[in-house]
Structure formats: structure tokens, C-alpha cells
Structure 1
Amino acid sequence: MAKTWLPPVEYVATLPKATAYACLYFTDTMNRPFQLRSVYGSEAWQWPGGNMDPGETPWQTAVRECREETGIEFPGEPRLLGAHFLEPCGEDWPVNHIGFIFDGGTLTDEQIAGVVLDPEEHAEYRVHTLAEWERVMTPRNFQRLAHIERARREGAAVYLETAAFA
């Protein structure tokens, strides 16, 4: 029996849905991770980045979101540190969410001092050692940070999965 192929529009309608985010991972000159504190929700600490807009690539999203959230114009090239898959989370987030974390390199003290936050999205920024971040972050988000830091240090991208909240 011959297979019947669906037209692309019909086939795509049968596939799982997902949203995507992209961000830049920065450290300061002492190799301490730089993060922003979100004004939304309990998973407060995050990297400059956000959800993709229609027509954007993950890299374009990371660079645009970084500029919008910090004022930093990132001139570098894409270097992927990790891909992140998050399961749907009920009504809070009803579809898969896929992330791309890129290496933003090292920020100078002057660049960090010049950060201008969008107060509608972030309340503050900080740099801490990994041990200090572990004390202020949720365990789930700290694990993501630790894996991305290791990926940068070792030069090999990581794949992360985050299960939905129980």
C-alpha cells in the first residue's frame, strides 16, 4: 500500500508546538557569571535574552534581547554553549520551550557599569562566583548555570532538559 503524504500545512498542524528563546552568557574579568534579576516569577535570575520574534534566528534574538535588556551592543560571532529543552508546564506554559544559550564572552568593568536595564523586565544585575550564585538561585536554574559555565570552560556545547514542575 502506497503512503499518502499530507500537504505541508496539514502535516505541520499535527506536530508538537514549541516556543523558543535565545540568550547570551557573559562573565566579568574575574570569570564570574553576569545575570539579571527578572521582575517576573520565582525563577528570578537569568541571562540577557528572551523569546524569538517571528522571522528571527536564535542568534538575532540573543543579540536583540541583550541590547534591549542591558544596552550592550554585542559585536561577536555566534558560539553555542548549550541547547535547552523545557517541557510544557500546564496553563503557565502550555507548549514546549526550546532555548539557545550563546557565549557572550567577557564584560569589562566599564561595560558592566554602563548596563542600562529595562525596568519593566529586570530589577537589577549582579556578578557572583558560582558558589555565591548557588546560594541565591533555585536549584533548577543553578544547575543550568553550572552546566553552561562548564560548557564554556571545556569548549563543548551541552544539551539540557528541564522537566515540567510537578
Structure 2
Amino acid sequence: MRRTWLPPEEYAEQLMKATGFACIYFTDEHDRPVQLHCVYSATHPWQMAGGTMEPGERPWQTAVRECHEETGITVTGPPRLLAAVYGLPGADWPYSTMGFIFDGGCLTDAQVQGIILDVDEHDEARVLAVNDWQPLMPTQDFNRLKAVVEARRTGTTAYFDNWDWGQE
């Protein structure tokens, strides 16, 4: 039996659709995660600086751009990947989600105090010990945060594949 190959455009229409995001993970000098309070999502209230990839953008470019837009901080790299994140589509979003979390290092107290928030997206930057974030986040968000913390501690990139839509 001979296989019939589809033209690339036709084949691509049959494939899974996904959106991509990238973000930067910061801690303060006491190794406490820095998170931003989101004004537009009650489902995911505390987030890392980052966002959705734009067409033609690579993950690191997205993370650097979004971090600067949301905090005023310019991350220079080199890129150090802490986690790859995947989520299946659900009722709230029709596509799979793939994301990359990069290490932004430790911020001084002055840098944390100097964060300039994009008020259309975030209204507060907060620093807490890891376990103090748990009551403020949905379980999947807290589990992702713990995976990122562990990845930085061990130097082994985390693979977090249960970021499914509708599983908050």
C-alpha cells in the first residue's frame, strides 16, 4: 500500500493547535518567590512575569519582553530554562498550552521595591516564602511553583504536564 502525502497546508490543518507562553521566575535575596497579582484572572490570581508568545517570537524573547512590560525589569540572560509546562484544552480555552519558565535570578530589595507594574495587568508584586503562597493559589498553580522552585534548587529542568484548562 502506497501512502499519499498531503500538501503541508492541508496536513497542518489536521494537527493539534496550541498557544505558547513564556515567563521569568524571580526570587528575592532570601530565595522567596516574587509573584504578581493579576487584575484580569480570578482563576489564576498570582503569576510570574510573562505572557503569550506573539507570532514570530521565540520563548526567551517573549519572556524578556513580557517581563519588561509587566515589571520594568530588563532580563539579559543567558536563558536558563527551569520548566516546560503543558496543558490540554478545556471549556475555558480551545487550544493546548505550552510554556517555558526561565530563571530570572535573585532580585535585591531595591529591585523588588522598584518594580513598575503594568496596571492593566497587575496591581501588586509580593514576596512570600514558598509555602505561604499555597492558600493564595489554586492547587495547580502552587504545584507548578513548587516544581519551578525544585528545578532551580536541583539544576534539573522540570516537566510540568498537567496545566490543563478547567482543572483549577
Q: Assess same fold via TM > 0.5.
A: yes
CA distance in 1, matches of 2:66, 2:165: 25
**% of aligned pairs identical?**
52
> C-alpha deviations, 1:112-164, integer Å up to 9, x for none?
11110000000101010012111222222101100110011000001112233
Partner of 2:151: 151
TM-score normalised by length of structure 1: 0.96
Question: Is 1:126 aligned with 2:122?
Answer: no
The gaps in structure 1 that reach 5 residues or longer are none
CA distance in 2, matches of 1:140, 1:131: 14
Q: Is the 8 A contact 2:18 2:96 kept in 1?
A: yes
Partner of 1:48: 49
One-letter amino acid of the structure 2 residue matched with residue 89 of structure 1: G
Helix, strand or coil: the match of 1:131? helix
Partner of 1:57: 58
Q: CA deviation at 1:8?
A: 1.0
Moved more, 1-10 or 116-125: 1-10
Partner of 1:11: 11
| Match runs of 1:7-46 below 5 Å | 7-42=7-42, 43-46=44-47
> C-alpha deviations, 1:66-104, integer Å up to 9, x for none?
0000000111211111111111121x2111011100111
Question: Which stretches of structure 1, 4 residues or longer, exceed 4 Å deviation after superposition?
Answer: none
The gaps in structure 2 that reach 5 residues or longer are none
Partner of 2:161: 161
One-letter amino acid of the structure 1 residue matched with residue 49 of structure 2: P
CA distance in 1, matches of 2:79, 2:10: 34
Helix, strand or coil: the match of 1:105? strand
**Paired residue total:** 165
Helix, strand or coil: the match of 1:103? strand
Question: Is 1:89 aligned with 2:90?
Answer: yes
Helix, strand or coil: the match of 1:49? strand
Question: Is 1:74 aligned with 2:75?
Answer: yes
Helix, strand or coil: the match of 1:68? helix
CA distance in 2, matches of 1:51, 1:106: 24
Q: Is the 8 A contact 2:93 2:165 kept in 1?
A: no
CA distance in 2, matches of 1:3, 1:79: 42
